[in-house]
Every structure is written in C-alpha cells, then in structure tokens.
Structure 1
Amino acid sequence: MSTTSKERVQSPDTGAEQRLKVLGISLPEPPEPLGIYAMSVQSGSQLFLTGMLPTRGHTPQFVGRLGAELDADAARESARVAALNALALVRRQLGSLDRIARVVRLGVFVATAGDVREHPKVADGASVLLQDVFGKASNPSRVVVGVASLPLGVPVELDLIFEIAE
C-alpha cells in the first residue's frame, strides 16, 4: 500500500519534524533579510523562499568560489548550511515542517571560477538534506547554475519552492 505525500507528512512517526530528531539535526535561528524584501511568500498552497545563503545571522559561514578558494566538498557543505537555513525559515513561517507536502523546486546557484564541472556534487549538499528530512518521494525538480558571484561572497545560494499540505 502506498501513501500520498499528504499522508506521509501527517504521520507523527515519519513526519519531517520527527526525522530531524532521528537525524540529530537542530535547526539554526532563521535568517533575517539583508535588504528590503520578504524572506518568504505564501501563495495558495505554495511557499516561495528568498535566496537562502550559508550564513549565521548576517555572517557568511563560507566565502569563496568553487574552483578557486573552495573545493567541491566545502561548497557542498555550504549548500547544506543554506538548506538548514531554509528549513528554519519554513518552520518559522508555517509552525512545523510537517506542514510541507513536498519540495517542488530546488534552484542552486554556485559561484565558480573558470571551467568548473562539479555543480551537481555541490547541489547534492542541499538535495541530500532535503531528502533525509522529507523523504525520497518529496524530491524536487532541480536546476543548478554556475555564476560569477553571489551576495556576501558566499559560494552557494538556494532558491526553493515548497507545497504546503492542506
């Protein structure tokens, strides 16, 4: 018998909040804006997040570009940190990660230097965390793009869209 994403997130044994506990993950304080914009916007059953950075407060936890100052492993970890910030923001917005039916879209922007080809490995830092928390059935569509620079000099910025369970 298969379960829908709605049934999965409503089960206390397999919900995202329970998975965080099982994984031993404690979410950071949600990020605050660096300028004049909303950190998240809900439209119908979708929640759109502003670009998520690997920061604590307004302080970057990673600085540099893939292929110059950082290797793929460091950039991958920065994607994971940005994803943790996204989860913290979603929890603040919705009250619980269990309200998420699925991750719809994950966009990953990677600051690179030169001819770098490890973009997917870097993006997996966020993808693995999201899959661990929401389950494989909630894997999003994903786009990964190399860029020249990102805010605060960070190596990764995430763009996320979530579907909210009814």
Structure 2
Amino acid sequence: MVIARGVSAGGAEQRLKDFGIVLPAAPLPLGAYVEAVQSGNLLFLSGILPVVDGKPRHVGRVGVELDLEAGRDAAFTACLNALAVVRDELGSLDKVSRVVRLAVSIVSEPDFRSHPLVADGASELLEAVFGKDKTSTRRALGVVSLPLGAPLELELIFETAQ
C-alpha cells in the first residue's frame, strides 16, 4: 500500500503504470442507485466501500477490531475502487482535471482520534495518481456503522476536462 512520493511526467494513467497499480473492476451498486453521476464538469461518486470481489476486505471498527494500518489499507482499497468507477465513467483517468472533494466516514469508537491518518490511505493514493497540485479538500469523521460491516466509506467529487 505504500506509494513512493514524486510524480512522473505522464498523466494519471501513466502514473498508475509507473507505480505498478492495476485497478480492479468497478464495484457494483449495493442498492437502487448508480455509482457516479456527471453534472457539467463535476463527477460525483456514490459512497465507495473497501470491497474486493463484492466482499469487504476488512470488517470492524478502526481502533477496536482493526488497527490503524488496516484502516489505512481499507481507505487505499476503497480509493482503488473509486478510481475504477471514474475510469469506467470517463474512459480514462487522464480526463480528471482535479480531485475536488474527498469525504471519509470511518467506523470507530467515540474516543478514536486518528481519523486523518486513516483518511491518508486514500489521500496519498490520489496525490500519487493525480499530483499534489490536484489534491482535494477533505473531510474525515467517525460514524457508528456502514454497509457490509465495512470500516469506512469514501465519497468523492472530481472535476473533469470538457
């Protein structure tokens, strides 16, 4: 999950190759909704879970059943899924001109305080793929539960080139 700092001269698709990252198939919706909607030059993603082959990679509360590294790995996994959704919608990650917003909901106990460190698992991947100059605003907060017992859920907004 560790991504080396520094960005190659190529676009997002080239950076994925440079880091040896292969995106999974985009996850399917768990209910009556779509994974992404484009309005103008903004692409809004539905909540994205850290699933692999339709099943949660991790289950439980960060800081209780899961340690900080498992939480970061869940954020990284969910972010890979988000990138797969974006690629499916746009045809290429190179059509993203900016990551506008990243929201991370993390299942934790009330006294958990490391939300930013967990969210970094997604933020660092986005920075590596799109570059520091396209880094998003971010919100990270604790919640009581999420679908499938997942430890976190990402919500993202991207600006696209038109």
With the shorter chain as reference, the TM-score category is over 0.9
Residue type of the alignment partner of 1:85? N
- Summarize deviations over 1:17-48 as a string: whole Å, max 9, x none: 00000000000010001000011000000000
**Of 27, 43, 55, which residue of structure 2 is paired with 1:59?**
55
Residue 29 of structure 1 pairs with residue 25 of structure 2: yes
Q: Can you give the 5+ residue segments of structure 1 that lack an aligned partner in the other structure?
A: 1-11
- Summarize deviations over 1:40-78 as a string: whole Å, max 9, x none: 000000000010100023211110001210111100110
What is the DSSP-based 3-state SS (H/G/I as helix, E as strand, rest coil) of the residue aligned with 2:88? helix
Q: Equivalent residue for 2:4?
A: none
Per the TM alignment, residue 13 of structure 1 is displaced from its structure 2 partner at its CA by 4.3
Q: Equivalent residue for 1:136?
A: 132
**Of 70, 73, 76, which residue of structure 1 is paired with 2:69?**
73
Residue type of the alignment partner of 2:29? P
Question: Could you tell me how far apart the structure 2 residues matched to 1:22 and 1:161 are?
Answer: 25
What is the DSSP-based 3-state SS (H/G/I as helix, E as strand, rest coil) of the residue aligned with 1:159? strand
Greater Rg over alpha carbons, structure: 1
Residue type of the alignment partner of 1:130? L
**Of 142, 155, 158, which residue of structure 1 is paired with 2:154?**
158
Question: Could you tell me how far apart the structure 1 residues matched to 2:41 and 2:126 are?
Answer: 19
- Summarize deviations over 1:91-137 as a string: whole Å, max 9, x none: 01100000000100000000002300000000000000000000000
Q: TM-score, normalised by structure 2?
A: 0.93
Q: Equivalent residue for 2:44?
A: 48
Q: Report if aligned partners of 1:61, 1:78 keep a CA contact under 8 Å in 2.
A: yes
Q: Equivalent residue for 1:39?
A: 35
Identity of aligned residues (%): 57
Q: Which runs of 4+ in 1 moved over 6 A?
A: none
Q: Equivalent residue for 2:93?
A: 97
Q: Report if aligned partners of 1:78, 1:156 keep a CA contact under 8 Å in 2.
A: yes
Question: Could you tell me how far apart the structure 2 residues matched to 1:14 and 1:123 are?
Answer: 26
RMSD: 1.1
Residue 108 of structure 1 pairs with residue 95 of structure 2: no
Question: Could you tell me how far apart the structure 2 residues matched to 1:57 and 1:45 are?
Answer: 30
